[in-house]
Amino acid sequence: MTTKIKRYVETDTGHRVPNHKSKCCHMHGHRYRFEAEIEGDVVEESGVSDEGMLMDFSDVSHILTVYVHDVVDHAFVVYEGDLEARRALECMPDGHRTVVVPFIPTAENLAKWAFDQVEPHIVSAYGNKLKLVAMHVRETPKSLASWYA
């Protein structure tokens, strides 16, 4: 029997989709929710901290914070080929956080990016076969993109 858990972090992040047919071609931001979905077996080893769990939720939060939240929160994510936006962002004062990525920063692409950042850190000390199976990115209350392993 396999069990799944989910844990998320939220960020305030700017982006633009440079070739979009509508208003998303403008610089704007979202309150993103990055949600990791993890699958595995419940730890059965008696007396250990994670007994009865797949992985401690606080450990998942730590991974999401370090490898996603702290990278893109209050930052502007810009596609490396979006020269207009990159020029505009170069005018920002020191301390502005710009994250240049090799993809257009859509919710779909950010889901894959976040998956790739988090997946190597979902490991078990108890042999309970943990696996990051999906990363879900909510861009708006009505919009969700998912990347599955």
Q: Which amino acid is at 62?
A: H
Query: What CATH number is given to the structural domain containing 119?
Result: 3.30.479.10
| Residue 118 CA neighbour count, 13 Å, CB half | 34
Res 127: pLDDT: 85
- Closest among 97, 96, 114, 117 to 105, alpha carbons compared: 114
Grouping H, G, I as helix, E, B as strand and the rest as coil, residue 106 is: coil
Domain that holds residue 16: 3-148
Query: Which residue is associated with the tokens 């610089």?
Result: 27
Residue for token digits 């990347």?
Answer: 147
Length of the chain measured in residues? 149
Answer for the pair 138, 147: CB distance below 8 angstroms, yes or no. no
Residues 6+ apart with CB under 8 A from 112: 135, 147
The values of phi and psi at residue 96, to 5°, are: -65, 140
d(CA 24, CA 20): 6
Tokens of 129: 């076969």
What does pLDDT average to in each consecutive run of 10 residues of the chain (149 residues)?
92 96 94 97 92 95 98 98 95 93 98 98 90 97 96
Phi-psi region of 123 (alpha: psi -120 to 50; beta: other; left: phi over 0): beta
Residue 1 has what pLDDT?
59
> What domain count does the chain have?
1
One-letter amino acid for residue 87 of the chain: R
- Report whether 40 contacts 55 (CB < 8 A): yes
